[in-house]
Amino acid sequence: MANKNCIISLQGVNKTFGNNTVVDNFNLDITKGEFVTFLGPSGCGKTTTLRMIAGFETPTSGQILLNGEDITRIPPHKRPINTVFQRYALFPYLDVYDNVAFGLKLKKIPYEVTDKKGEKVTKMRHLTRQEIDDKVMHALKIIDLEDLENRDISTLSGGQQQRVAIARAIVNEPEILLLDEPLGALDLKMRKEMQLELKEMHKKIGITFIYVTHDQEEALTMSDTIVVMKDGVIQQIGTPTDIYNEPVNAFVANFIGESNIYNATMTGKLKVKFLNHVFDCVDDFQVNEKVEVVVRPEDVMMTVISGEADANKLKGKIVTKIFKGIHYEYVIAVGKSEVIAQSTKDYPVDSLVYLDVEPENIQIMKKDTTTNIYPEAYLDKNNKLIISDAEFDVDVTQLLKGSHVDDQLYLIGPDGKKYDLDDADVVATLGFTDFEIVDGHDNGNVNGVVVDTIYIGDHYQVLVRTPEEEDFIFETQDMWNEGDLVSIKVSPEKFVITLKGDISKYEVE
Ligand code: ATP
């Protein structure tokens, strides 16, 4: 084990249901007293990982160690671990005190007695009334509900009920508390309050918290360490600031906070080109390498253009402005691209502005070498995927597990909630072998020209560029020649799309 303060260690943990691998080679050491959050979109394997730590699921392979001991196959009740679920699961007919005391009344603890022969033997006994009372009152004090001990559960607010559920989980003094979206059922205001309270509670009790959420803001607010997951695979482990400032790939950047993500090319030593402009940067990549860049909205600097514009500077036009309390959020059109920027200064819509970014605020990431990524894609009112000017059919139900599209093209969630995806910004990815290129123009979704072919061992990698300068990399056995005019054809199920921001933004009444 890496460190002696490590309380729980997941080593090469896999979980498969049938042919479906939902947790893939998960490796993580958690330190005693740490607040760790598993963050990722619905279905990425967070709950399954938590359930394996709790003992409700057994890994298909790999090991889970608790304080260095293998607990992979130990049943849940023998682990010093308790879980708080999203639904409070309280007993409605018991009051607050009895809900918290419930488990303690059943619990037996070992004690030593001397038998007739004068030998010490270990026996089991129930807790005394006083012991139970001390423990319950202590737990109620931690969750700040001492005054409500005699209240009926049904008279409590959602937040208070969830606090009782937490008290019930901590009253047994577990070493680790698992929290599976515990605030998911609360309204936004209550959620925010409870986030701070949970963080306080964590400090007070000092035990290890492992928290599951799909809400990036919640993860950033509360955690010491965030584990970002996608499709059962850990993408990045780090502190909230690391993950925010130095995302390792476009998925993490997009998932954590608002960000501008662009395809870019290294045009020289510490020079990177995106938005058709060359910026100085601090990350050293090979000249001509295709990369992705992330720029956070708060790092975009704007100045209004007065007089004749300087041809060497990057220019844009403010198209929308929203007041966000402390700052304004602007969307600025730069050619066909958009830049999101934040500023405390108030500029009118339609202003022409210079844009700039400090070199250290341009985060450059290695490009994924198996997929085409389109970070500036969006959906239109017909749920078509738009990449530059090209239109593609796409399966939008992938944005929400268990959803369908109704005859008015609204996305309907499994809980009946309705979403209007018109103009929703998405990141679209397309595998190098997941589409076709066909000879001649106007035979597919978008036209292009073959600008490059590279022979890689046993196949060709063909780069097709559209008139809007979008690149589609395609892997094929067939040889294509530079300059060939082609069309790109994609079937709807091949695009993988993820929303920028939470789907709740698109909910309609
Ligand atoms: P959510 O936030 O929606 O709960 P999650 O990230 O917690 O998502 P999991 O609940 O761990 O994801 O599910 C991961 C995948 O495993 C999903 O595709 C889910 O359908 C599948 N899965 C989970 N439990 C089972 C099971 N018992 N049998 C088959 N598939 C399962």
Q: What is the pLDDT of residues 210-238, one digit of tens each?
A: 999 988 889 999 999 999 998 899 999 99
Q: What DSSP string describes 256-282?
A: SS--EEEEEEEEETTEEEETTEEEE-S
**What is the CA(90)–ligand 1 centre distance, in A?**
24
- Residue 43 CB–ligand 1 contact under 6 Å: yes
Residue nearest to atom 24 of ligand 1 (CA): 48
Residue 438 backbone phi and psi in degrees, to 5: -125, 155
- Find the 232 Cα to ligand 1 centroid distance in Å: 10
Ligand 1 probe mutation, 15, 19, 48, most atoms within 8 A of CB: 48
Pocket perturbation via mutation, ligand 1, pick of 22, 53, 503 by most ligand atoms within 8 A of CB:
22
Give residue-wise pLDDT tens across range 476-495: 888 898 889 999 999 999 99
Q: Is 48 in the pocket of ligand 1 (CB under 6 A)?
A: yes
Evaluate: CB of 40 within 6 angstroms of ligand 1: yes
Does ligand 1 have an atom closer than 6 angstroms to the CB of 414? Answer: no
Q: Rounded to whole angstroms, how far apart are CA atoms 269 and 284?
A: 7
* pLDDT tens digits, 328-356: 999 999 987 889 999 999 999 999 999 99
- pLDDT, one tens digit per residue, over 171-205 is 888 999 999 998 887 788 888 888 988 898 899 88
Place of tokens 């279905």: 43
Which of the pair, 133 or 337, is modelled with greater confidence? 133
* Beta-ladder partners of 355: 302, 314
Task: Report the distance separating Cα 322 and Cα 340, nearest Å.
Answer: 11
Amino acid at 386: I
CA-based max dimension of the chain:
104
Closest CA to 49 of 71, 81, 27: 27
Residue-wise pLDDT tens digits, 249-287: 878 887 887 788 888 889 999 999 999 899 999 988 888
CA distance 327 to 16: 46
| Pocket of ligand 1 contains residue 17 by CB under 6 Å | yes
Tell me what percent of the residues of the chain surpass a pLDDT of 90. 54
**By alpha-carbon position, which residue is closest to atom 11 of ligand 1?**
45
Could you identify the atom of ligand 1 that is nearest to the CA of residue 15? 16
Q: Which helix (H) or strand (E) holds 448?
A: strand 446-456
Give CA–CA dist 230/43, Å, rounded: 8
The span from the CA of 168 to the CA of 90, in Å, is: 9
Which ligand 1 atom lies nearest to the CA of residue 48?
A: 11
22 lines ligand 1 (CB under 6 A): yes
CA atoms within 13 A on the CB side of 486: 25
Among 13, 21, 47, say which to mutate for ligand 1: greatest number of ligand atoms within 8 Å of CB.
47
CA of 503 to the centre of ligand 1 (A): 19
Q: Give me ligand 1 centre to Cα 290, in Å.
A: 35
> Do 156 and 99 touch, CB atoms closer than 8 A?
no
Q: Whose CA is nearest to atom 29 of ligand 1?
A: 17
Task: Supply the residue whose CA is at minimum distance from atom 27 of ligand 1.
Answer: 17
Instruction: Name which residue sits closest to atom 17 of ligand 1, judged by CA.
Output: 43
Whether residue 1 has pLDDT greater than 50: no
Q: Is the CB of 47 under 6 A from ligand 1?
A: yes
Helix H or strand E segment including 355: strand 352-356
Q: What percent of the chain has pLDDT over 70?
A: 98
- pTM, two decimal places: 0.74
> What is the residue-averaged pLDDT of the chain?
90
User: Which residue has the CA at smallest separation from atom 25 of ligand 1?
Assistant: 17
Rounded distance, CA 486 to CA 482, Å? 11
Element (H, E) at 437: strand 436-439
- The Å distance, Cα 141 to ligand 1 centre, comes to 35
Q: Which residues pair with 274 in a beta bridge?
A: 277
Local structure of residue 311 (DSSP, 8 states): T
300: pLDDT strictly greater than 90: yes
- Tell me the pLDDT band of 41, cut-offs 50, 70 and 90: confident
Crossing angle of helices 188-205 and 158-170, rounded to 10°: 20
Decide whether any atom of ligand 1 lies within 6 Å of the 448 Cβ: no
**Residues with Cβ within 8 Å of residue 408, at least 6 apart in sequence:** none
Q: Is 223 in the pocket of ligand 1 (CB under 6 A)?
A: no
Domains of the chain in start order, with CATH, are 1-80+174-245 (3.40.50.300), 94-167 (no CATH), 260-366 (2.40.50.140), 371-508 (2.40.50.140)
Helices 129-142 and 188-205, axial angle in degrees (round to 10): 120
Q: Distance from the CA of 280 to the center of ligand 1, in angstroms? A: 43
Q: Is residue 378 a contact partner of residue 425, using CB atoms and an 8 Å limit?
A: yes
Determine the residue type at 132.
I
The Å distance, Cα 350 to ligand 1 centre, comes to: 46
> Is residue 51 within 6 Å of ligand 1 at its C-beta?
no
CA distances from 485 to 209, 248, 446, 467, 476 (A): 57, 36, 11, 11, 16
